[in-house]
């Protein structure tokens, strides 16, 4: 009895079977691109969230030419973290321009944005490690 060719499963080590999945090294660097935002924020302090885009920027600049998956995910992490930095800067300006009264709006919005940033960053790192091209919601695509 012969098996139809459509139902034949390629062996696990067959390179043709995993050609669409990025290599383990690319997946790891892409995960680092997302998680480096957390490290960048811790190292530079939490002053307006400016450190969050430094880690993804460095990883993207170093690995973009050698690893296409890291290029894609590094740009995505960088765009998301720049967007978050812009939001925090706008909240800071709101507080400053209203002579402190804007903090009644800026503080709760800042907490929500901060928690969402943390959750989305962790989800993106996990998805990148799985080899999935993750797209952050609510992101300005500044770097293409």
Res 112 pLDDT > 80: yes
Domain residues of the chain, as ranges? 23-129
pTM of the model: 0.81
pLDDT tens digit sequence for 53-96: 888 999 999 999 999 999 999 999 999 999 998 998 999 999 99
pLDDT at 9: 41
- Angstrom distance (rounded) from CA 23 to CA 82: 27
Quick one: what percent of the chain has pLDDT higher than 90?
A: 67
Residue with tokens 């290599």: 23
pLDDT surpassing 90 at residue 105 = yes
Instruction: Check residue 14 and give its pLDDT.
Output: 46
pLDDT confidence bin for 10, thresholds 50/70/90: very low
56-64 contacts at long range (C-beta below 8 A, 24 or more positions apart): 56/81, 59/29, 59/32, 59/33, 60/33, 63/29, 63/33
C-alpha to C-alpha distance for 121 and 108, rounded to whole angstroms: 20
Q: 27: buried, middle or exposed (CB in 10 Å: 19+, 13-18, 0-12)?
A: buried
Mean pLDDT of 112-139: 95
């Amino acid at each position: 009895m012969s098996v139809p060719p459509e139902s034949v499963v390629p062996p696990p080590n067959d390179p043709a079977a995993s050609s669409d999945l990025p290599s383990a090294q690319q997946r790891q660097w892409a995960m680092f691109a997302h998680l480096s935002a957390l490290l960048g924020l811790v190292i530079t302090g939490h002053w307006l969230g400016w450190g969050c885009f430094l880690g993804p920027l460095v990883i993207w600049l170093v690995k973009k030419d050698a690893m296409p998956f890291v290029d894609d995910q590094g740009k995505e992490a960088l765009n998301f973290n720049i967007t978050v930095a812009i939001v925090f800067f706008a909240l800071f300006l709101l507080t400053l321009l209203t002579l402190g009264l804007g903090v009644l709006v800026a503080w709760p919005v800042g907490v929500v944005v901060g928690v969402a940033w943390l959750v989305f960053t962790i989800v993106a790192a996990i998805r990148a490690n799985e080899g999935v091209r993750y797209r952050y919601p609510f992101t300005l695509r500044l770097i293409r």
